Amino acid sequence: MKINVGSQNPAKVEAIREILKEYAMFVEAEVNPVNASSDVSEQPKSLDETIKGAINRAKSAFAQGADLGIGIESGLMAVPYTKTGYMDLCACAIYDGRQVHLGLSSAFEFPKEVTRIILEQEVDANDAAYRAKLTNEQKVGSSEGIIGIVTKGRVTRKEYTKQAIRMALIHLENPEIY
C-alpha cells in the first residue's frame, strides 16, 4: 500500500510513520512525503479553514498516485472564555479516493503575544513564536512545536499530531460502523 503524506514537515511525516506501525493493515505501507498545497491561509484562523486545509492536502497527496492521501493541518479556532479567544488544534484528513476520514487533536492556547502577532501581523505560528521571542528557532513547528515549549517537552508537535492521526484512523479500522 502506498500512502502519500501532503507535507514535507518532519514532525508530521514521522508522526504518521510511527502511528501506522501500530496498525496491522499498514505494516507493509510505503509512506512518502509529497508537496501538497493546503489552499488555505498560511496560518488557518478557524476550525473550518483548518479542516479544509487538511482535506485539500490529503486529496492532493492522493492524486499524486497513492492508495491513501493524508493531510495534516494545524490552525487556530475561536474558543469562548479563553484568554486570547483562540486555541490551536491539529486536523488529520485521510482520503481513500471516495471518502474523507477526519480526526482532531486536543487543543491548547498559544501565549497571548503569539496569538496577537498571528492576528495582527498575518504571519504563521512559526514566525509569531520567533517574533514573540518564545524561541530562537524559526521553524519550531518542524521540531518540538509551540506545544513542546509551553508544556516543557511533555507534549511535542509530533505527539500532538499523532492524536489527530489516531482519531482519523478510527474510521479505517472500523469501516463497518462508519
Q: Where are the domains of the chain?
A: 2-107+159-173
Report d(CA 153, CA 78) in Å as an integer.
25
Q: In what order do the strands lie in the sheet with 86-95?
A: 30-33, 2-5, 68-78, 86-95, 100-104
Mean predicted confidence (pLDDT) in 109-125 = 95
The C-alpha torsion from 54 through 55 and 60 to 65, rounded to 10°, is 110
**pLDDT greater than 90 at residue 141:** no
**pLDDT greater than 90 at residue 137:** no
Report d(CA 139, CA 125) in Å as an integer.
9
Give the pLDDT score at 144: 85
Specify the CATH class of 2-107+159-173 in words: alpha beta
Structure-block grid coordinates of residue 114: 503569539
Q: Within 10 Å of residue 160's Cβ, how many Cβ atoms?
A: 25
Strand partners, 94: 70, 101
The pTM for the full model equals 0.94
Give the pLDDT score at 58: 98
Nearest to 115 by CA among 124, 103, 102: 124
